[in-house]
Amino acid sequence: MRIAEIECKSMLVASKLPASDYVVNPYTGCSFACAYCYASFMGRFVGEPIEAWGEYLSVKVNAVAVFQRELRRMPPARRESTILLSSVTDAWQGVEKKYRLARGILEALHAEAYPGQVMMLTKSPLILRDTDLISALPRTEVGVTVTATDDAVGRFLEGHAPFATDRLRTLAALNQAGIPTYAFVGPLLPHYRYRGDLLEDLFRCIRDSGTSSVFVEHLNTSPYIVRRIAPLVRDEPAEVQAVYAAARTDEHRRALSDMVMDLVAKYGLEIRLGRVLDHNRDKKAAPARSSLQGSA
Ligand code: SF4
């Protein structure tokens, strides 16, 4: 992992994602290195190819100061806006222990008594370090990405991300601390189409963690993402390759969406936006607000 310290000019960036008005990204790159991450395109801003995603990280060392300045200048009419931390990195990845940028941003929001919604999304138990600040903000919601209950399945596509079981424990700990939470099931891994028992186990574990609300999104099969996933799948047995090939079809997505809708109903979960998100289909209908996937 190559780590560089850089200075940024802005931190509070208007968002095109569903459910957030602004995004805040204290790092460029992500050491968790998920193969399916849509944020791999970010390399173009720091001169890195898509294939190098997960091998570099730029730390915006002035992130907190810049964010504080922008927050103070925010017009009163905008202070009800929803801010997402983060959209193209995981703000609680390992280096956060040293740089404490996510924590600094939460401290700035607290100091300003920011009244709007602050949404977080992470794969990291490190967010539990910040439960004091999160609890002190008036409107927060913490999302944890959970794609599997089996650590080996998660490891296949999620390079160095924390284990799936640790993420479920993180959700439970947040719920025990009284913090509003949601689970982000994204990407919805293609093999669930043929293993309804494993998909059911995933939603049951989310419900058992105390979380009652989920975002769910199909695998983003944009060509630049497929380029990163393909080498992993190529080493797998023929049946796994066939599953990933089928994942791009409408028929697969419809069948998997139906399975998810049945399970969220069975386990009494709320599905955000009322459906399984599908970047590849939604962007044709609404290109500006079509995807959540890749945010941690
Ligand atoms: S999906 Fe999230 S955790 Fe994984 S590499 Fe991308 S930003 Fe990091």
| Domains of the chain by residue range | 2-285
Question: Could you report the per-residue pLDDT of 247-263, keeping only the tens digit for each?
Answer: 989 999 999 999 999 99
What atom of ligand 1 comes closest to residue 161's alpha carbon? Answer: 3
- 3-state SS, residue 292: coil
89 lines ligand 1 (CB under 6 A): yes
The sign of the torsion formed by the CA atoms of 80, 293, 278, 287 equals positive
What atom of ligand 1 comes closest to residue 293's alpha carbon? Answer: 1
What pLDDT score was predicted for residue 296? 58
Evaluate whether the domain defined by 2-285 bears CATH number 3.80.30.30.
yes
Which of these, 123, 122, 120, lies nearest to 137 by C-alpha position?
120
Query: Given a cut of 60, is residue 291 above it in pLDDT?
Result: no
The residue whose CA is least distant from atom 6 of ligand 1 is 37
What pLDDT score was predicted for residue 91? 98
Task: Average the pLDDT over 59-84 and give the result.
Answer: 95
Which of these, 77, 170, 157, 182, lies nearest to 126 by C-alpha position?
170
30 lines ligand 1 (CB under 6 A): yes
39 lines ligand 1 (CB under 6 A): yes
What pLDDT score was predicted for residue 45? 85
Q: Which tokens is 21 given?
A: 């008005």
Question: Could you report the per-residue pLDDT of 12-31, keeping only the tens digit for each?
Answer: 999 988 778 999 999 999 99
Pocket test for ligand 1, best of 27, 28, 30 (most atoms within 8 A of CB): 30
Bridging pattern class, strands 181-188 and 22-23:
unpaired
Find the 75 Cα to ligand 1 centroid distance in Å. Answer: 31
Give the chain's mean pLDDT.
92
End-to-end CA distance of the chain, in Å? Answer: 18
Query: Given a cut of 80, is residue 282 above it in pLDDT?
Result: no
